Structure 1
Amino acid sequence: MKRDERGVAYPSPLVMLSVIAVAMAGVAFVATKDQPEQERRVETVASTPTPTTEAAPEPAPAPEPPPEPEKPAVERGKIYVEVYNNTGIKGLAASTAEKISGAGWQVVGTDNWVGTIPAPTVYFPQRLKAAAELLALDLGFQRVQPAVAPMKQDRLTVILTG
């Protein structure tokens, strides 16, 4: 009698689970291979706190931040200021120049300004920016801008508006 070799042999369930596990691992590897690594913080949690009898150590004092370098103080008397009137009010530049001189600034000229300025402004060359901010503070002005032509680059220029 001849044996018939027809039929299908099914692998055991253990072999099937192993093949599925390897396939799943391969899929997971391919899906996450371009992902950045993530660090995780592992903390242990005690089931019951243990009482301590010794005092907790004092925390070390925080280091003091390094002192900020001080900006050089602006010497008002060494800064030249020109005052221009951009309004129809006669004598406004002269009266403002007196106020500026009274605060210690060195006013070297007053005149009228022709043009459109949106608000009273102190214009400055780059090296005098701190002085311009201080002069604006002295005058109560909100607007401080870099100097533009034809303004001189060795002094502050104040333009008054209505």
Structure 2
Amino acid sequence: MRRPAPRGRDERGVAFPSPLVMLSVLAVAMASITFVATRDQAPTERRIDTATIASAEQSPSADPTTEPTKQPKPKPQVTRGEVYVEVFNSSGIKGLAASTAQKATTVGWAVVGEDNWYGVVPTTTVYFPPRLKAAGKQLALDLGIKRTAPAVGEMKRDRLTIILTTDAPR
């Protein structure tokens, strides 16, 4: 009886990478897509200088030698108690949102919530919807916050949002 000849292995076949390699490749691809999609966008956030705002709001001294020119339109007054404020802590400093909320309440703002913020914010900021821009600037002045910006993402459009970082005034 004759024995059949052993079969040789052909080198045609597919070797599948491990799940870890597949996830790594997917993560790199997603990071690349995100980078390309967001690299040319202009920042929507702005810094404000509280000293400039404070000096602009002070009335100029009366000089009898100069004739008065057009009187500037009076700025709309912000009624602090009628504007809702939410305070979020992104600093990791325990109790920072609560203490800032207390300061805002003491000054007269209607604080309706405080919590932690999970995300990246470059510096402590007061975010405002378009109709509350003046109130946002006033809140920033009241609390010594140097930066305001229009509300972004899923922020509520009926209130001001404060996001505190490690540089928050205490």
Aligned pairs (5 A) from 1:14-29: none
Aligned pairs (5 A) from 1:6-155: 64-155=68-159
Query: Which residue does 2:18 correspond to in 1?
Result: none
Shift of 1:122: 0.1
Gaps spanning 5+ residues in structure 1: where? 1-60
**Any idea what SS the aligned residue of 2:91 has?**
coil
**Any idea what SS the aligned residue of 1:81 has?**
strand
Gaps spanning 5+ residues in structure 2: where? 1-64
**Any idea what SS the aligned residue of 1:116 has?**
coil
Shift of 1:73: 0.6
Q: TM-score, normalised by structure 2?
A: 0.58
Shift of the 62–126 alpha-carbon distance from structure 1 to 2, 3 Å rule, reads same
**Any idea what SS the aligned residue of 2:88 has?**
strand
Between Structure 1 and Structure 2, whose CA radius of gyration is higher? 1
Shift of 1:63: 5.5
Give the AA of the match of 1:128. L
The alignment of Structure 1 onto Structure 2 pairs a total of residues equal to 102
**Any idea what SS the aligned residue of 2:138 has?**
helix
Shift of the 84–62 alpha-carbon distance from structure 1 to 2, 3 Å rule, reads closer
CA distance in 2, matches of 1:63, 1:87: 51
**Any idea what SS the aligned residue of 2:153 has?**
coil
Is 2:165 aligned against 1:157? Answer: no
Identity of aligned residues (%): 59
Q: How large is the RMSD of aligned CA atoms in angstroms?
A: 1.3
Give the AA of the match of 2:157. Q
- Post-superposition Cα deviations, 1:50-98, rounded to whole Å, max 9, x if no partner, equal xxxxxxxxxxx97531211101110100000000000111111111100
